[in-house]
Amino acid sequence: MSQASAVVFQILQSVLVVLIAPLVLGWVNQCRAWLQNRSGPGIWQPYRVIKKLFHKDAVLAHNASPLFWATPYILFGCMWLAVGIVPVLATSLPFAPAADVIALVGLFALARVFISLAGMDIGTSFGTLGARREMMIGFLAEPAMLMTLFTASLISHSTSLVTIVDTLGHREFVIYPSMAFAAVAFVMVLLAENARIPIDNPATHLELTMIHEAMILEYSARHLALIEWAASLKLTAYITIGIALFVPWGIAQAGDWSGLLVSLGALVVKLALAGAGLAFLETVSAKMRIFRAPEFLGTAFLFATLGMLVHFLLEA
Amino acid sequence: MDLALFRPVEAAVTISVLWLGLGGAALALTRAPRAVTGWLYPVGAVVALALALIGFWVMSAPASSAVLPAGLPDLPFHVRLDALSGFFLLLLGGVSFGISLAAAGYFRGSETQSSGLICLQYHVFLASMAFVLIADDAYLFMVAWESMALSSYFLVTAEHHSEQNRRAGFLYLLVAHLGAISILLCFGVLHGGLGDYTFDALRRAELSAFWASVAFALAFFGFGAKAGMLPLHVWLPEAHPAAPSPVSALMSGVMLKTAIYGMVRVIFDLIGDIRWEWGLTVLLFGAATSLFGVLFALMQHDLKRLLAYHSVENIGIILIGIGLSMVFFGSGHPAAGALALIAGLYHTLNHAVFKALLFLGAGAILKSTGLRNLNEMGGLIRYMPHTALYFLIGALAISALPPLNGFVSEWLTFQASLQAPLLDNSVLRSLVPIVAAVLALSGALTGMCFVKVYGVAFLGQHRHEFISDPRPASPWERAGMFWLALACFALGLLPVFMVGELNNVTRALTGAGLPEQAMASGWLWLVPTSAAQASYGPIIFLLVIVAVFAATFLVVRLIYHGRLRRADPWDCGFPAQTSRMEDTADGFGQPIRHIFAPVYLIHREIPRPEDPRPVFRQEVEDRHWYWMYQPVARFVEFLSGHFGRLQQGRISVYLLYSFLTLIALLVFAQ
């Protein structure tokens, strides 16, 4: 594998994922509309929203500090970095050693802290409310996420996503009970971290339900566009981390041009299935009260811990 | 400096004596307080920097020792400088450089007669910490340890007009002495009846398993009391905020680390033969301390008290690293043990840097606004932009966010706990990841706490009507904070260098280090075991985020436009926005109070519905006072009450006591 083609793969993957991220969101929304017997706006709707927002004039509150307008760019940078590191299309990318899964969790935490600070910057009641709830979900989700990653890393003795993909992707299909537990926990954390039902409802602007939307109420135009884009990138990044951890089959080696097509096809199928599954989960469950969130994420933590114990008892 | 003429140990002693000399000069200059603040602190800072350089040099040099011409006749002071001492001297020197710079600005403009005395205590405090680190016998160690406690006591009670500060100082002195007695007993156990108290003799003494465990327990209790470990933490949130801010920075940033030094020195070096049960003890205490510390930090609205509780939390994280290391060493996995020890020591340095930075930030706020209560601050980023930037760096670092330094050491601790499958004991094997999950929880809670601090203090609308706009921090204070913020970046972005140095330290201390392939991956990638297992490249993080930031910023302007309008906040169209509608610090902690209710002792006063001026009052207290400290205090009072009966006040009774004692002694002497 030459260095140059690895770099080409890196650029290809980063650009591709950034471009298709709104499509993933559009697909989830469209599936949800179908499941709810609506015709839906079509899968291209997020692109139209982002384009519209970029055209508008930005409005900033009088007392907004530089932190407020810098945050959307930082958020976008964090998410772009995340999808550059996760082996979406290929392993052994030049950026891949920059972070293992734990460092990726740290990266998401960085983005979360910035968006919460921005929510508090203007000093409105909704902004602080959203920031408080977002940080609460964050601290509940992080231990569960870490435990999930621990369990998922036990089989390949590594937290590097590349090694996990290589170990799991190149051996015959075996069902590990510990991985099943970890996967359930991971899905629960994914729902919470991406502000989906049952923790948050991305479709409402009601003070009783909203977390993410409350923080970004003050944003407009290009800043809001970047935040929306970053949110769809975060969802895509989480789904692709899940794919790398639990169903890594099909991901190519960097520089392997023939494997690229297979990898691309596998990615499209997996993303489509994951999106449809997400829409299904959101349709069959109801939004929880905010103080039920500890129980929900506590269950995720329990599942991950059970997975670890199962691994030590049955698989070691 | 001519290296052949000066051995590092002599240089270190000279520098510590220089600090004492500065203290003496301060005493001589009490009538010229402006000269004290303007000259002595900056000179002390330069001295500190020299000490840091010596420490850095020693970390990869062979140990050197000397006997000082001081002490009692036939009992001279022994000093020795090895890699471990070197690392802690680097910490002491590097951090106190920034603090001393800021102190020059902090004390300026409010000089009184006592400025000279504070400067004296400050430099005696620094010098005694240096002597703790280079002492090579129990005698000098205890002398330095006690003068450290005493000089810091006087600094805590510097503002002794307030009743609260005097109480805090007394509590501090009490716990410090309980700890000191325990350490003294530990040395007594360690020396094994040989009559020689040099560390060399203590190292050589053969102890049975029981006595070794006793020595461990005494050292753990004694140093734990100084470090602020649960349940001996109660003095810390009282004493640290009471002192002037640079001293708080010094106490939280550096003094707590001398306790970590003592723990590592005694357990890894003097006792040596580590058992995993000890490690488990340290690990569990560490996990409890870190979680407890952050949960109480979230309940605070006094900024300095909040930071003090975070020191408790970070000591817990350091103890998790050290405990893991002891578990691995005790069960025969020295490579994993070395990794955990490196993680613990790295966090020790990191915490010193960012906690000092945060305390200096709190000091700058206090000096320019007079406020310590978060609920009265707000919008300070508009008045103190530099302080706001440095404080943000410190807040991100303490919240363990990449690419800053706090994340590196927490990540290394996670990597160390991922080595758990190596362990043979199945209970330990599943317990270690759960402790790591506790660490993740307290890390995320720290993030929440600092969103609260930063959001309430620096962002939003201001809640306090200032008579005149708060002034930005003075250049000296900014220089001190800049230095520490720079260190946060350097330690975060180039961790490989420091991990390499720490690898030398663990090799010199325990004989074990990281595997070869870990250190062979180049300066860009931090690799704890092997590149296939895990790696982390913070520079990539920073570069990509900055590049995407800049590219997006430009591309959006090129393709679309950069038009901007200023308007009133939107807030769903609600017109009358006042600062009373924002979350206060206490409001922000409400979910925590709800979720972790059993941890706290909450007193609430809820107003009646017909009350025309309703006031809602709530106070959160530490349960430890009630189940641990007050029973002990009552018992001591009970005992002293009964002993008091011996004191009759009549000379004849006292003569009778002497007579009876003499008789008893004669009987026993038979």
Residue A169 has pLDDT above 80, yes or no: no
Give me the amino acid identity at A285: S
Alpha carbons A164 and A137: distance in angstroms, whole number: 28
- Chain A, nearest residue to B572 by Cα: A217
Contact A106, B541 (CB under 8 A): no
Measured between alpha carbons, how far is B635 from B663 in angstroms, rounded to an integer? 31
Per CB-CB distance under 8 Å, the chain B contacts of A308 are 430, 433
C-alpha R_g of chain A: 19
With an 8 Å Cβ cutoff, are B444 and A109 in contact?
yes
Interstrand relation of B64-72 and A252-253 (parallel, antiparallel or unpaired): unpaired
Phi-psi domain of B472 (left: phi exceeds 0; alpha: psi -120 through 50; beta: other): beta
Taking the C-alpha atoms of residue A182 and residue B129, their distance in angstroms, rounded to an integer, is 48
Which uninterrupted H or E stretch holds B53?
Answer: helix B41-58
Contacts of B150 (CB under 8 A, 6+ apart): none
Question: Contact B334/B328 with Cβ under 8 angstroms?
Answer: yes
Which DSSP helix (H) or strand (E) runs through B145?
A: helix B138-156
Q: What is the reported pLDDT for B2?
A: 45
| Token digits of residue B578 | 């006042």
Q: What is the pLDDT of residue B658?
A: 92
B424-454 burial: b if 16+ Cβ within 10 Å, else e: eeeebbbbbbbbbbbbbbbbbbbbbbbbbbb
**The two structure tokens encoding residue B426:** 């199945």
Please give the Cα distance from B569 to B576 (Å, whole number): 10
Greatest C-alpha distance within chain A: 61
* Helix B475-493 with B405-417: angle, nearest 10 deg: 30
pTM of the model: 0.94
Has residue B302 been placed in a domain? no
φ and ψ at residue A254, rounded to 5 degrees = -65, 135
C-beta of residue A192 within 8 angstroms of C-beta of residue A138: no
Report the residue of A75, A85, A101, A122 to disrupt the B interface, i.e. the one with the largest count of B CBs within 10 Å: A122
pLDDT at A316: 64
Q: How far apart are CA B263 and CA B551, in angstroms?
A: 49
Cβ contact (<8 Å) for A124 and B581? yes
- The DSSP 8-state label assigned to residue B585 in this structure reads H
Tokens encoding B467: 């008579």
Q: What is the residue extent of each domain of chain A?
A: 3-315
- Give the whole-angstrom CA distance, residue B26 versus residue A182: 63
Where residue A208 falls among pLDDT bands split at 50, 70, 90? low
DSSP codes joined into one string, B357-399: HHHHHHHHHHHHH---BGGG---GGGT-HHHHHHHHHHHHHHT
Q: How far is B71 from chain A (nearest CA, A)?
A: 51
Residue B81 bridge partners (DSSP): B64
Residue B500 lies in a domain: no
Residue A26: Cβ within 10 Å count? 23
- Contact list in B for residue A220 (CB cut-off 8 A) is 570
Beta strand B75-81 with B64-72 is antiparallel
Q: How many A×B Cβ pairs under 8 Å? A: 261
User: In 3-state terms, what secondary structure has residue B584?
Assistant: coil
Average pLDDT estimate for A273-284: 93
* pLDDT lower than 50: segments of chain B: 1-2
* C-alpha distance from residue A179 to each of A158, A240, A298, B202, B427 (Å): 14, 16, 18, 50, 21
Q: Does B534 touch chain A (CB under 8 A)?
A: yes
Nearest-CA residue of chain B relative to A53? B560
The β-bridge relationship of strands B601-605 and B564-567 is unpaired
Residues 440-459 of B with CB under 8 A from A: 440-441, 443-445, 447-448, 450-452, 454-456, 459
Burial pattern A145-161, b for ≥16 Cβ within 10 A else e, equals bbbbbbbbbbbbbbbbb
Q: Which residues pair with B78 in a beta bridge?
A: B67
Chain A contact present for B596, CB below 8 A: no
> Searching chain B, which residue's CA lies closest to the CA of residue A156?
B533
Whether B601 and B626 have beta carbons less than 8 Å apart is answered as yes
Helical H segments across chain A, by residue range: 3-35, 45-55, 66-85, 101-121, 125-154, 161-169, 177-193, 212-215, 221-246, 257-284, 293-310
Closest CA to B401 of B476, B472, B323, B488: B488
- Residue that the structure tokens 């129990």 belong to: B138
Distance CA B492, CA B486 (A): 10
Is B16 a domain residue?
no
Nearest to A95 among B414, B540, B549 (CB): B540
Does B649 map to a domain?
Answer: yes
Cα–Cα dist B670/B651, whole Å: 29
A222-253 in b/e form (b: 16+ CB < 10 A) is: bbbbbbbbbbbbbbbbbbbbbbbbbbbebbbb
Q: What mean pLDDT comes out for the span A251-262?
A: 77
Test A127 with B552 for CB contact under 8 angstroms. Answer: no
Which of B567, B579, B587 shows the shortest C-beta gap to A123? B579
Q: Quick check: is B124 in a domain?
A: no
The whole domain housing B663 covers 624-669
Are B489 and B354 a contacting pair, CB within 8 Å? no
Name the residue among B400, B438, B563 with its Cβ closest to that of A57: B563
Contact criterion met (CB < 8 Å) for A132 and B590 = yes
Quick check: B382 and A65 CB within 8 A? Answer: yes
* CA–CA min distance A294, chain B (Å): 8
Q: Looking at CA atoms only, how far is residue A53 from chain B in angstroms?
A: 10
Smallest Cα–Cα separation from A140: which of B591, B283, B408? Answer: B591
**Cα gap B481→B356, rounded to integer Å:** 9
Spell out which residues of chain A touch residue B411, defining contact as CB-CB under 8 Å. 102-103, 106
Confirm or reject contact between B460 and chain A (CB < 8 A): yes
User: Among A22-26, A206-210, B424-428, whose mean pLDDT is lowest?
Assistant: A206-210
Residue B342 in contact with residue B284, Cβ under 8 Å?
A: no
pLDDT at B528: 84
Say how many domains are in chain B.
Answer: 1
CA nearest to A38, candidates A49, A26, A29, A51 = A29
Burial of A39 (0-12, 13-18, 19+ CB in 10 A): exposed
Token pair listed for B428: 């330990």
B-facing residues of A in 180-239 (CB < 8 A) are 205, 217-218, 220, 222, 226
| B572 phi-psi bin (left φ>0, alpha ψ -120 to 50, beta other) | left
What mean pLDDT do residues A208-225 have? Answer: 85
Band (A206; pLDDT cuts 50, 70, 90): low
Cα B319 to Cα B612: distance, rounded to the nearest angstrom? 51
Q: B188 and chain A: CB distance < 8 Å anywhere?
A: no
Nearest in space to B354 (alpha carbons), one of B279, B253, B504 = B253
Classify residue B370 as exposed, middle or buried by CB count within 10 Å of its CB (0-12, 13-18, 19+).
exposed
Q: CA-CA distance, B241 to B264, in Å (whole number)?
A: 27
Q: B574 is written with which tokens?
A: 């609600």
What average pLDDT does this structure show over A263-272? 90
Handedness of CA B384, B386, B389, B394 (dihedral sign): negative
- Asked if A99 and B559 come within 8 Å (Cβ–Cβ), the reply is no
Distance CA A243, CA A22 (A): 18
